[in-house]
Structure 1
Amino acid sequence: MSSLASVSRLRWIRHQWQRRFARPRGVWALAGPVLVQELALVLTGTVVMALASHLGPASVAAIGMMDALGYLLNAVYGGLAMGATVTVAHCLGAGRRHDLRAVAFSALLLALCSAALIATLLWFTRGLWIAMLLPGAEASVVAQADRYFRWLIVAGLPTSLVMVACGVLRGMARTDTAMRVQLAMNLLQILLAALFMNGAYGSVAGAGSALLCARSAGVVLVLIALWPTLQRALEHPAGSPVRGEFVRAILRVGWPAALETSFFHVGKLITQTMVVGLGTTAMAANFIAFYVSAMLYAPGTALGVAATTLVGMRLGAGQVQRAHRMLRRLVRSASWALTGVAVLVLPLAWPLASLFGNDPEVTRQAAWLITLSCLFMPVWAGSFVLPAGLRGAGDTRYALVVGTATMWGLRIMAGYLMGVVLGLGVVGVWLGMFGDWVVRNLLFRKRMRGTAWTRHRLLG
């Protein structure tokens, strides 16, 4: 009897361990490629900026500020990609694989039309944007910014197609294919930037042309990956492969997600302007800490993509309880993964900060910011992975309202109060950001415990 009791006890312990700490099956098969993709994206941006540094500070300033606007453009395309991911996942969950061709065509058409409209507007108003982003800048900086901005605008067309097509692939759980496309595109961009910025162009135009060529090559690669699906659409006898049902579904998820991400990046730009007013040392420390933190967040970002796809598939199949359980376990898994990363990085905060320069004050402030990021890392999963799962359910409006309110009420207002008014400097600005994380975490967890987020119906 005692041996049977021991076996039962061990089984109970194993069950409790798996229920609380085990990751959902197959989650890293989806998240792993996204993690590699995120790290490669950060590395690509770093290499391009390093190449630009050889052209002088005016080139670095021009590329850096125009790329900040590029992130806003990518937010729109990323929202459409999110809509495509969720719609595809719901179709697969509902057993409607035959509709994937119509979803893919609808998503690509939306991407192309949106990018063409945005490119036209930006091209004829680029002077206003440059004046707004670079007030009082030297003439050389303005000239180079205009030159780079032209390339950035044109590159928006292939960028939109690549991002949305990769969103379709992620919804089909083909994150490995999307990763290969992105890696090839990033590698080509680095090689061409090294060639053009030091040779053929020798200016910011080299960076812009490398971006355009790499994104155009990415369109070819991603269309090859999607060709079996698109070919069936062309051969389908029903007529037009674009269907209003899927256009509406993509927009229903995509536009709130695009607005949320856009507001998020606008908020980040505002907090960056706060840091600019705190001096060069604070600016340098802020840049170093953000670069290191981007590496720390990468596992959580990858798990967020997996959450969107898996929750969408479960709800598409009508498996509400399984979707609820899947999201809880994903958030728990992300919390433990990020906590593990934070524990490893925490004692290395000072050495990591010192890699980016030898100014002791910059290193001290950057190390302090990295330390704070590690301490608040367990909260990050509930703030960002959880809403990614809610978006997979189509619950994008709640995420939009919460994200916008906390961004402006805490990250900006509280950051300004603590960093500028109370004189805490860049640490105060970052404390406002951490307060944003905490409140987002509480509100999204409260939403997850309810059932309202599972009631959205995307497909007819």
Structure 2
Amino acid sequence: MRSIIGATMKSNILANPFRLKQEGIFTDKMIASLLIPILIEEIMIAVITIADTAMVASVGETAVAGISLVATVNNLIKQMLVALATGCGVVIAQYIGKKDLTEAGNAMKTGLYSILFLSFSVSLVSFIFKRSFLSAMFGHVEEDVFKNALLYFSLSLVSYPFLAIYHVGAASFRAMGNSRIPMFCSFMMMGMDLLIKAILIYGFKIGVAGAGISTITATAFVSGIMLLFMTSYKNTVRIKDIIKINVDFPMIKRILGIGIPNSIEKGFFQFGLLILQRLTASFGTAALAANAIAKSLTPISYTLGATFSLGIINIVGQCMGAKKTEQAVMYTKHMLKINYILGFIVNACCIIFAPAILKGYNLSEEAYKLSYIVFSMYCTGSMIIYPLSTVLPFALRGAGDTKFTMMVSTISMFGARIGLAYVFARGMGMGLIGVWLSMVTEWIAKGIVFLLRFNGGKWKEIKVV
């Protein structure tokens, strides 16, 4: 008897925490094949973004200023397109779980045309009112900066419909459990963009126009490749008769019912970041430099969270479509556990090696200390609460609980993060540290609410398909 107990205890101690205790719709191998390409893609995006920023910085101060202004708008549009595409992905995942591949294909096609129409409409309206829009967004800026911003914005608008195609395709393939195709297309798009940008900026010396043209060329080419993949007979789910447009209003309602709340949430979040950016700008040069450097290091930490978020939404979606809510709970807990283990290791390393990394930047003593403090706060918060505040709501979204996540995220952004940022930073005189402390406090508030919602189980009653 003693030997049996001892053997059992030993097996529990030596049990691999990364393996499922029991397998359901998804096996360990299937989860790994979904997550690993997403992780590679996220790391690749972080690295190429740094190279892209360095390249754009060489075109001159006014050009960089104009591009950076438009980049905030582009990021907002991109996040909203991703959110709408996520709605399409959730519906596809649930139909796959339901084993209705015909309707899953219909959802892919309907989502593609719906989001393509919305992105084209945004591009057209924005192009017509581009001057008024930029003036309203950024107020009075230097004439040369505004001209560069106007040129880059005009070119960026052309790429929005192509980005819509890519993001719908990426969300659709992840819903099928195939994250290799989005990774391949993402790598191709960023690689092409970087290569063409180098040729046009360094070779042809056309500056801002080169930056815009490279983006259009890369997104257009890759959107065409993505369409070929989406119509391929090799896929579990594919688009049939892509030229034939069928208006399926119930399907549009399902997709937008998830996509629009998600998109509104992303929009408010980006707007909230702009408010905080203005607050941070009032703390002086050292604080601005420290904030910029600390933010540039955060992808090392949040890449894991982004990976598990994109994975968990599709796994839960398939479980809900199959009416296996107990498996949705099991997979969510399992992936959160892995996220916590890996997150602890990565963030602990970030804190340990941050001083050495920061010494590579030409910072003043004040900026160096500030950047280390706020980055360490970020990493500590990521270890303790980030998975619950950011990854767990993606499980709820996979079940279709997007209105609740939108409400909580919006209230916490404006009530906790922005409100407390002013209290901590201005009222208590904490400056930049107060802004980052308000972010971690918001994570704690969101994490508690989302955990209560998850344990309450009301999300299990939501019917999407």
TM-score interval for Structure 1 and Structure 2 normalised by the shorter chain: over 0.9
Question: Percent identity, aligned pairs only?
Answer: 23
Matches of 2:431 and 2:21 in 1, distance apart?
38
Look up the match of 2:84: 80
> Structure 2 vs 1, CA of residues 201 and 120 (structure 1 numbering), >3 Å: closer, same or farther?
farther
2:426 equivalent among 420, 430, 433: 420
Look up the match of 2:141: 137
> Structure 2 vs 1, CA of residues 272 and 232 (structure 1 numbering), >3 Å: closer, same or farther?
closer
Matches of 1:320 and 1:202 in 2, distance apart?
55
Tell me the TM-score normalised to structure 1 length: 0.94
Matches of 2:458 and 2:299 in 1, distance apart?
32
The one-letter code matched in structure 1 to 2:454 is M
Tell me the TM-score normalised to structure 2 length: 0.93
Following superposition, the deviation at residue 358 of structure 1 comes to 3.8
Matches of 1:55 and 1:360 in 2, distance apart?
30
8 Å Cα contact 2:268-2:410 kept in structure 1: yes
Matches of 2:459 and 2:266 in 1, distance apart?
20
Greater mean alpha carbon deviation, residues 376-385 or residues 331-340: 331-340
The one-letter code matched in structure 2 to 1:295 is I
Following superposition, the deviation at residue 200 of structure 1 comes to 2.7
8 Å Cα contact 1:84-1:171 kept in structure 2: no
Following superposition, the deviation at residue 18 of structure 1 comes to 7.1
Is residue 14 of structure 2 the alignment partner of residue 10 of structure 1? no
Is residue 275 of structure 2 the alignment partner of residue 270 of structure 1? yes
Matches of 1:17 and 1:84 in 2, distance apart?
32
Matches of 2:21 and 2:274 in 1, distance apart?
37
> Structure 2 vs 1, CA of residues 17 and 299 (structure 1 numbering), >3 Å: closer, same or farther?
closer
8 Å Cα contact 2:92-2:105 kept in structure 1: no
Matches of 2:403 and 2:59 in 1, distance apart?
44
Secondary structure of the residue aligned to 1:233 is coil
Look up the match of 1:342: 347
> Structure 2 vs 1, CA of residues 279 and 96 (structure 1 numbering), >3 Å: closer, same or farther?
same
Is residue 334 of structure 2 the alignment partner of residue 324 of structure 1? no
2:310 equivalent among 305, 313, 317: 305
Look up the match of 1:244: 249
Matches of 2:321 and 2:375 in 1, distance apart?
40
Greater mean alpha carbon deviation, residues 117-126 or residues 391-400: 117-126
The one-letter code matched in structure 2 to 1:98 is T
The one-letter code matched in structure 2 to 1:3 is S
Is residue 250 of structure 2 the alignment partner of residue 222 of structure 1? no
Greater mean alpha carbon deviation, residues 227-236 or residues 209-218: 227-236
Q: Deviations over 1:313-350 (max 9, x none)?
A: 11110001111111122122212221111111111112
8 Å Cα contact 1:309-1:392 kept in structure 2: yes
8 Å Cα contact 1:93-1:316 kept in structure 2: yes
Secondary structure of the residue aligned to 1:54 is helix
Following superposition, the deviation at residue 11 of structure 1 comes to 4.5
> Structure 2 vs 1, CA of residues 72 and 232 (structure 1 numbering), >3 Å: closer, same or farther?
closer
Matches of 1:253 and 1:98 in 2, distance apart?
20
Greater mean alpha carbon deviation, residues 40-49 or residues 200-209: 40-49
The one-letter code matched in structure 2 to 1:335 is Y
Matches of 1:420 and 1:132 in 2, distance apart?
27
2:113 equivalent among 109, 112, 115: 109
Matches of 1:56 and 1:64 in 2, distance apart?
12
Is residue 268 of structure 2 the alignment partner of residue 256 of structure 1? no
Matches of 1:453 and 1:151 in 2, distance apart?
42
Kindly tell me the number of residue pairs found equivalent between the two proteins: 457
Secondary structure of the residue aligned to 1:356 is coil
Q: Deviations over 1:288-321 (max 9, x none)?
A: 1111112210011101111001000111100011
Matches of 1:361 and 1:152 in 2, distance apart?
38
Secondary structure of the residue aligned to 2:129 is helix
The one-letter code matched in structure 1 to 2:113 is L
Following superposition, the deviation at residue 47 of structure 1 comes to 2.0
Look up the match of 1:373: 378
RMSD, matched Cα:
2.2
Look up the match of 1:403: 409
Secondary structure of the residue aligned to 2:240 is helix
Look up the match of 2:241: 234
8 Å Cα contact 1:38-1:298 kept in structure 2: yes
8 Å Cα contact 2:425-2:435 kept in structure 1: yes
Secondary structure of the residue aligned to 2:99 is coil
Secondary structure of the residue aligned to 2:361 is coil
The one-letter code matched in structure 2 to 1:43 is V
Matches of 1:6 and 1:448 in 2, distance apart?
36
Matches of 1:380 and 1:5 in 2, distance apart?
37
Q: Deviations over 1:220-258 (max 9, x none)?
A: 11112112268762299xx85553332221111100110
Following superposition, the deviation at residue 42 of structure 1 comes to 2.4
Structure 2 spans left out of the alignment, 5+ residues: none
Which structure 2 residues correspond to residues 171-190 of structure 1 after superposition, within 5 A?
171-190=175-194
